[in-house]
Amino acid sequence: MTVKLFTVNEMVAAEKAADAAGLTYAQMMETAGLRVAEAIWQRYEVVGRQVLVLVGPGNNGGDGLVAGRYLAEAGAKVAFYLLKARSADGDANMAQAEAMGLEFLLAEHDQRFRILHHRLQTTDILIDALLGTGASRPIVGVLGELMRQVSLGIAGRRQAGNRPSPLIRVAAPPLPPETEAPEDKLPGWPVVVAVDCPSGLNCDSGELDPLAISADHTVTFAGPKRGHFKFPGAAACGELIVADIGIDPQLPVVAAVPIELATADLARRLLPKRPLDGHKGTFGTALIAAGSIRYWGAPALAARGAFRSGVGLVTLAVPQRLRPALASQFPEATYPLITDTDLLGVSTANLLLSSLKDYSAILIGPGLGEAGSFLGAMLDGLREPPQGHTPPLVIDADGLNLLSMLDGWPKRLPPGTILTPHPGEMARLVGRPLDAIRDEDRVELAREKAAEWGHIVVLKGAYTVVAAPDGRATLLPFANPILAVGGSGDVLAGIIAGLLAQGLASYEAAVLAGYLHGAAGEMARDFWGDSGLLAGELADWVSHARRALTL
């Protein structure tokens, strides 16, 4: 199933189109509330748990009423705290909840929020159904004070639950306690579940109101919203859960949404085939032109990423002085007889251009140093290759920095070249300050430049974006500090080249490589925590991530 990334207006249009096609708003609300309840009881035991639902005046509040009803039917002790009174007349969800005899509390009858404070002290699961996607301006008034009191109550519970032990182990940190079964594991404070979006999050811009209620889990409907993946708001979402509420993905307004979310299902569909009678030639040869006397490790990391992607053969074109060290690490690779000693130059470019037919994909850049003459000669040769064959090209790292110094560089690249900038490299490519780049919308910046340059852009960072010249873009759902280590990008570039060599089209190779890289980081974080991983170790996790997609 394709998962689209919506703006708020695109989501409103999708719901309107679904209603016109026969899926009523009432049906969508019923399904949405059920999906919230399912997300909770799949993670926690709900029988006997105290559940407090914060109910706003709009449709988000209606979703909360439905979720509370289902949780009550499952055995939870549910109470609703209403921002404003809702009449059961014409509100079927309110009427059903009242008919069940569930408890309702009204903010306007709660002097100084005393009842709310008391309930927060005993609440196990707090459902935030106040605003959803409706936050677009500063929150004030009764709603603002209600949200402030909720945040204070949660913070007080958490602080009380984390008092330091009077016994401190000096020699070594204590081992973590044995974990309980997931359904019994509740922290000593309310688990906060946001309906569609945490209240106070602008679901387009990612801006976060100072009064926003941060969530442990956010259940969003039909597809995530752009603000779920923009900081600072992204940090308030906790685990993001996308729930299907029946909106047909073939509806024209849904199909026209240009941004897609990379999921395990998408990655699984993109995996290249591994026939039983395949040999190393079947799985392609990746040429990696990289390294300089100052940067020995980058070619090794790129090669490791390529090998772990499943490529059949890697050819490392590196300066002579690097070859012995790399050959000892990668006896599996081949090494052209390059005469340049410390820095790749024109002679190396001519050698590689004369044997392009031997390669299924080319990566230029990691650790390349100041090898501008090499890059220029390679690009000139690739425009009119001696043997009429131009393998797909990836340019990364120093290759991008050198590229930014060339006049008219987009037209010098073969069509469909993959560019993999981090924000600093992107700033150099576009000729703008880094701070300005960081302030821009990552998705729109990548799409704009992919269209302008006519090449595929992989804008790296927390929530990497892959954009194509035709306007398509795929967002990778990974923001993981364990990936913030030197060489991580070299590994990604190697994975992309390896997948290209295995026959994937350029856009699909970039998307799958980004997914495998991010998923490998998630698996490594589960093992190591959020720091201390080496880039070479990250490459080794790629095989595990790939295998997980086939299970």
Question: What CA–CA distance (Å, rounded) separates 420 from 351?
Answer: 25
Render the burial of 363-401: b for 16+ CB within 10 Å, e for the rest.
bbbbbbbebbbbbbbbbebbeeeeeeebbbbbbbbbbbb
Helices and strands: H and E segment counts in the chain: 20, 16
Closest CA to 353 of 322, 384, 399, 323: 384
CA pseudo-torsion sign 504, 508, 509, 515? negative
Beta bridge partners of 78: 51
With both helix axes pointing from N to C terminus, report the angle between 8-20 and 25-41 in degrees, rounded to the nearest 10.
120
Write down the pLDDT at residue 138.
Answer: 87
**What DSSP line would sit under 369-430, residue for residue?**
-S-HHHHHHHHHHHHS-TTS----EEE-THHHHHHTTSTTHHHHSPTT-EE---HHHHHHHH
> Please, are residues 116 and 126 in contact by the beta-carbon 8 Å criterion?
no
CATH topology of domain 266-550: UDP-N-acetylmuramoyl-L-alanine:D-glutamate ligase (3.40.1190)
The contacts of residue 444 (CB under 8 Å, 6+ apart) are none
Half-sphere exposure of 503 (CA within 13 A, CB side): 9
What is the domain partition of the chain in residue ranges? 8-160+180-257, 266-550
Question: What CA–CA distance (Å, rounded) separates 168 from 165?
Answer: 7
Peptide bond between residue 177 and the one before it cis (omega within 30 degrees of 0): no
> Please, are residues 395 and 455 in contact by the beta-carbon 8 Å criterion?
no
Integer distance in angstroms from the first to the last C-alpha of the chain?
Answer: 18
Write down the pLDDT at residue 193.
Answer: 98
CATH 3.40.50.1370 fits 8-160+180-257, yes or no: no
Closest CA to 349 of 322, 372, 369, 333: 372
Write down the pLDDT at residue 237.
Answer: 96
Provide the token pair at 173: 């940190």
The contacts of residue 177 (CB under 8 Å, 6+ apart) are none
Coil, strand, or helix at residue 290?
coil
Question: What CA–CA distance (Å, rounded) separates 262 from 279?
Answer: 30
Q: Where does residue 200 fall: left (phi above 0), alpha (psi -120 to 50 degrees), or beta otherwise?
A: left
Per-residue tens of pLDDT for the chain, all 551 residues: 789 999 999 999 999 999 999 999 999 999 999 999 999 999 999 999 999 999 999 899 999 999 999 999 999 999 999 999 998 888 999 999 999 999 999 999 999 999 999 999 999 999 999 998 877 778 999 999 999 999 999 988 877 765 555 666 566 665 555 544 444 556 667 999 999 999 999 999 999 999 999 999 999 999 999 999 999 999 999 999 999 999 999 999 999 999 999 999 999 999 999 999 999 889 999 999 999 999 999 999 999 999 999 999 999 999 999 999 999 999 999 999 999 999 999 999 999 999 999 999 999 999 999 999 999 999 999 987 766 779 999 999 999 999 999 999 999 999 999 999 999 999 999 999 999 999 899 999 999 999 999 999 999 999 999 999 999 999 999 999 999 999 999 999 999 999 999 999 999 999 999 999 999 999 999 998 999 999 999 999 999 999 999 98
**Secondary structure of 461-509 in HEC code, one letter for each residue:** CCCCEEECCCCCEEECCCCCHHHCCCCHHHHHHHHHHHHHHCCCCHHHH
Render the burial of 248-281: b for 16+ CB within 10 Å, e for the rest.
eeebebbeebbbbbbbeebbeebbbeeeeeeeee
Write down the pLDDT at residue 181.
Answer: 45
pTM to 2 decimal places? 0.93
**Residue owning tokens 């990379």:** 262
Write down the pLDDT at residue 134.
Answer: 72
Task: Return the DSSP state at 197.
Answer: S
Write down the pLDDT at residue 179.
Answer: 45
C-alpha R_g of the chain:
27
At 188, give phi and psi (nearest 5°): -85, 35
**Secondary structure of 221-275 in HEC code, one letter for each residue:** ECCCEHHHHCCCHHHHCCEEEEECCCCCCCCHHHHCCCEEECCHHHHHHHCCCCC
- Spatial strand order of the sheet with 103-106 comes to 103-106, 77-82, 50-55, 125-129, 191-195, 217-221, 239-243
Question: What CA–CA distance (Å, rounded) separates 63 from 55?
Answer: 9
> Cα dist. 300→95, 294, 322, 331, 485 in Å?
65, 14, 10, 11, 15
Provide the token pair at 506: 């350029």
Half-sphere exposure of 413 (CA within 13 A, CB side): 27
Question: What CA–CA distance (Å, rounded) separates 290 from 369?
Answer: 9
